[in-house]
Structure 1
């Protein structure tokens, strides 16, 4: 096979050390190749020695697998002076029966020198920093949700059915009632009297919901849950402030993204952090959707198409798009995305319909960031306008199902 890189190196990285394989031409021996493998620790000084060795060998390509987080130190140190690519481990599986760190490095090097590996997307340093912030905020937000669920579990254990009446038990009224319970108040009427604003009409239901067997044991655990929720809320606020500062260079892109139905500021920041807001890395919207893992898969054998389920992609971006898709689906027929969801859900099911909305959203993101423009909604009546005869057939079928016949006459134009 033709060699695209005469001097290629590959790294098989572990936690404590790595195997570095270098393949170069063998002078005086025709097309044969010289191969040398060395072991280096993953400390900074050892990685500097590795870099000096690769530079001395005049390596033109360094390949490494995305092994957990262990690849980061070597990649960041080498990227300034050598062409480095990160590859998906699933794309470089070795041959059966020869699985060792040394053979893995050699196999990776052979694939790299022949140009058989596709580089994964590694964003520049500012985007990497933004990614760390948005991902940690997502993690803390999920932790806060779980802590609120634990709090609700303790209330249920005590027979307190506050969540059956209050939409948010951590709202102003809910926090006041919980604080009173923790401080020792057990009178349901007194607790219900702490309701504020829109909760006041629900006082009779609150009296029933707040009647239970709330003990000192429950008070102790609920206090810990509330303290933990407050700590997480404070940390999330600090992260949001920091993210706001980091996304100032992308303020224009963020303003474009929030015009998409269902996409708020938080989701827009995640999209910017995960994609880098640079669509030149993705030739088409289809490439972006494929990279994100929200397009149908291809599995065809013997002329038959097998499963078309989506493959694994960027789950941080997928989670944000899922949030946006659920919000867009609730816009009813006022938006194109809402109409598309209601059109697909009966035929595909809710889950697949939401994935289709995620795909449409990401397609819009690619075009908007490529053309530097706001979202242009096609309207909730897009599908009716596109194929009015189909809409009439659907209405006729529904009427016939109910036992009616219908006739459609055009509305006369006003004089």
Structure 2
């Protein structure tokens, strides 16, 4: 006869939460009354925390994909609960779950037995800094995509700046593109806008600026330039916020 092995309860006041995009299932035990479903609005998250308080819960294990866990995590930590975020692949790989047991109950059971380890969660300041940096990276990708579109319309207009100037978003190119979008057509006048550090002569640049003057391409080029300028403004604003955050983090050490 196979001998059963009883496991020690490590976290006697534990809850398990199965985080969803529209609802959160919460278990504080293994019986039916120990399970409740909550919504995702602020009042629902506060009600969830109140219920955990009423059931004398001290520690909570959450399983989630994406970023759906973040708002509930913030509420629970602010209310004094010890919260861990666990990987769903890990909980599903532990054998022993019965088919009629809900995921939140399985998470609660594993957490009660001390079988779950939490993922790394940065502190509040670090999380904010990551948000700013991630957003800045997205803006940089968008700006790079916009610069490629500007280069495309320049080629269609037969402005072959890409042949004579290395960086389409360098000082020389941007000065010339702005003048083009403002209506300047004269190749010599456009070439005279070259920056002093540009290796190409005005004559070489002027040869690349013989346009077909297509109005639709000029319009599209102007639109992309406006988008590029807007993105650069947003990137600058992100840089300021990142600088402030770094000052706060360094100052708090």
2:30 maps to 1:12? no
Residue 4 of structure 2 corresponds to: none
CA contact (8 A) 2:20 2:64 kept: no
Consecutive unaligned residues in structure 1, runs of 5 or more:
24-32, 254-276, 278-415
CA contact (8 A) 2:18 2:64 kept: no
Following the alignment from structure 2 to structure 1, what is the Cα–Cα distance between the partners of residues 131 and 22? 23
Matching of residues 3-402 of structure 1 within 5 Å: 3-23=9-29, 34=31, 36-80=34-78, 81-93=80-92, 103-199=102-198, 201-251=200-250
Following the alignment from structure 1 to structure 2, what is the Cα–Cα distance between the partners of residues 203 and 13? 63
Figure out how many residues of one structure are paired with residues of the other and give that number. 244
CA contact (8 A) 1:165 1:202 kept: no
- Alignment deviations for residues 150-209 of structure 1 (CA, whole Å, 9 cap, x no partner): 111211222322122212222332122112322333333332222120226433332332
TM-score scaled by structure 2?
A: 0.85
Per the alignment, in what secondary structure is the counterpart of residue 24 of structure 2? Answer: strand
CA contact (8 A) 2:164 2:208 kept: yes
Following the alignment from structure 1 to structure 2, what is the Cα–Cα distance between the partners of residues 45 and 201? 64
Following the alignment from structure 1 to structure 2, what is the Cα–Cα distance between the partners of residues 18 and 38? 8
Consecutive unaligned residues in structure 2, runs of 5 or more:
1-6
Per the alignment, in what secondary structure is the counterpart of residue 201 of structure 2? Answer: helix
Residue 3 of structure 2 corresponds to: none
Following the alignment from structure 1 to structure 2, what is the Cα–Cα distance between the partners of residues 230 and 220? 16
CA contact (8 A) 2:16 2:108 kept: yes
CA contact (8 A) 2:18 2:62 kept: yes
Q: CA deviation at 1:230?
A: 1.0
Following the alignment from structure 1 to structure 2, what is the Cα–Cα distance between the partners of residues 202 and 2? 81
CA contact (8 A) 2:157 2:213 kept: yes
Q: CA deviation at 1:123?
A: 2.0
Residue 365 of structure 1 corresponds to: none
CA contact (8 A) 1:160 1:214 kept: no
Distance 1:143 1:248, change over 3 A: same
Following the alignment from structure 1 to structure 2, what is the Cα–Cα distance between the partners of residues 49 and 202? 71
Following the alignment from structure 1 to structure 2, what is the Cα–Cα distance between the partners of residues 205 and 117? 67
CA contact (8 A) 2:13 2:59 kept: yes
Distance 1:191 1:135, change over 3 A: same
Following the alignment from structure 2 to structure 1, what is the Cα–Cα distance between the partners of residues 235 and 192? 32
CA contact (8 A) 1:193 1:203 kept: yes
Following the alignment from structure 1 to structure 2, what is the Cα–Cα distance between the partners of residues 46 and 251? 36
Q: CA deviation at 1:99?
A: 8.2
Distance 1:217 1:98, change over 3 A: farther
Distance 1:90 1:158, change over 3 A: farther
Following the alignment from structure 1 to structure 2, what is the Cα–Cα distance between the partners of residues 189 and 111? 75
